Amino acid sequence: MTLLTKRRLAVLVAGFALLLSASIVAGLAIGPSGLSPQRVIRALAGGGSPADADIVLRVRLPRVVLAALVGASLSVAGVLFQALLRNPLADPYVLGVSGGAALGAVAVMAFGASLGLGYAFVAPAAFLGALAATILLFGVAGARGRLSSTSLLLTGVVFNAFASAAIVFVASLAGLAEGTSIFLWLIGNLSSARTDEALGVAVFLVAGLGCAVPLARGLDLLALGEEPATQLGVDVPRMKRLLLLATALMVGAAVAVSGLVGFVGLIIPHLLRLVLGPGHRLLIPAGALGGAAFLVLCDTVARSLLDGRELPVGAVTALVGGPLFLVLLRREQGGRGMR
């Protein structure tokens, strides 16, 4: 068998980086005015025609970069939730943590102006919403150690139902006009991508990865259980605190700029585990790069599938992710990993 070595890690991460680069070039090339990959690369390098440079750098690049950052954040958050809850079905969207982030963000969008809070407060509010939902979730899960898949999913259903109801309530209070834009945003889309948003998400993502990467080996040990991990030298409470913070940062940032994009944190870690195995030293960087590539491609489909109209990217990830997840679930239940 092939064990993970530094060399193998470097080669595989480079491979995933290449995959992401290819999907970014595809995302920049495909659109109403189709460009060849060569023209995209020339524009990226500062050459080519001014029109190409305008399309690639000004119109498409911010959105593609934002899709990559959101995809990476959601995918890594999925990896971390699954490891922390010791359950491959855990995911920020399914568990309602994204819903908590959305509630925080919507509250600021609805009432922020009257409280003197500008748009800059949306991301911090989403972070706080995600953090509150995560702490609540771990409070429920932590009381009895490891939750069964059934209890976990039921907890998620309840959390999501509560968050949706609260969002509807807040949106209704805010008045219909604002409410409509809120609902569009909640389907999950990247159409209003701006460079400063991408920068903000990048900061949250780097901070989250900075917490998670050094703890990757500890997450492997956590698969044995909290007590065995402790007995193998892991400071489990400290690790959990840091990773709760990391996931809340990443989910909060992703939801604040893109709304509720589902299934990325579920599908990508699942697929990667099938191909690469469950070791987190590889799964975390591969999850970031793979999730980024996936959402760039989904968003490219979302804005080019229908002529002259856009699908929300959340609809595309759900259409791709839902059926794929059912296939994976069946496969997994064939094995014995789901107890």
* Site residues, another protein (CB under 8 A): 1, 3-6, 86-88, 146, 213-218, 220-221, 223-225, 227-228, 230-235, 273, 277-279, 281, 335-339
- In angstroms, give the least distance from the CB of 276 to another protein: 11
**In the complex with another protein, which residue's Cβ is closer, 215 or 251?**
215
**In the complex with another protein, which residue's Cβ is closer, 124 or 279?**
279
Structure tokens that stand for 38 in this block: 């060569």
Kindly report the length of the chain. Answer: 339
As a whole number of angstroms, the distance between CA 252 and CA 266 comes to 17
- In angstroms, give the least distance from the CB of 5 to another protein: 6
Compute CA distances 73 → 81, 182, 212, 275, 285, whole Å: 12, 22, 12, 20, 11
- In angstroms, give the least distance from the CB of 238 to another protein: 10
- In angstroms, give the least distance from the CB of 326 to another protein: 19
User: How buried is 271 (Cβ within 10 angstroms: 0-12 exposed, 13-18 middle, 19+ buried)?
Assistant: middle
**In the complex with another protein, which residue's Cβ is closer, 91 or 220?**
220
- In angstroms, give the least distance from the CB of 39 to another protein: 41
Structure tokens that stand for 48 in this block: 């080519």
**In the complex with another protein, which residue's Cβ is closer, 43 or 282?**
282
Rg, the chain, Cα only: 20
**In the complex with another protein, which residue's Cβ is closer, 310 or 332?**
332
**In the complex with another protein, which residue's Cβ is closer, 63 or 270?**
270
- In angstroms, give the least distance from the CB of 336 to another protein: 5
**In the complex with another protein, which residue's Cβ is closer, 234 or 253?**
234
**Which residue, chain included where needed, has tokens 């995209």?**
40
As a whole number of angstroms, the distance between CA 57 and CA 61 comes to 5
Say which DSSP state 4 is in: -
- In angstroms, give the least distance from the CB of 337 to another protein: 4
> If we measure between CA atoms, which residue out of 258, 235, 275, 287 comes closest to residue 81?
287
DSSP letters spanning 53-117: HIIIIIIIHHHHHHHHHHHHHHHHHHHHHHHHTT-TT--TTTTTHHHHHHHHHHHHHHHHHHHT-
**In the complex with another protein, which residue's Cβ is closer, 269 or 312?**
269
- In angstroms, give the least distance from the CB of 278 to another protein: 4
**Which residue, chain included where needed, has tokens 């039921």?**
154
Q: Do 74 and 257 contact (CB within 8 A), yes or no?
A: no
Non-local CB neighbours of 173 within 8 Å, separated by 6+ positions:
110, 111
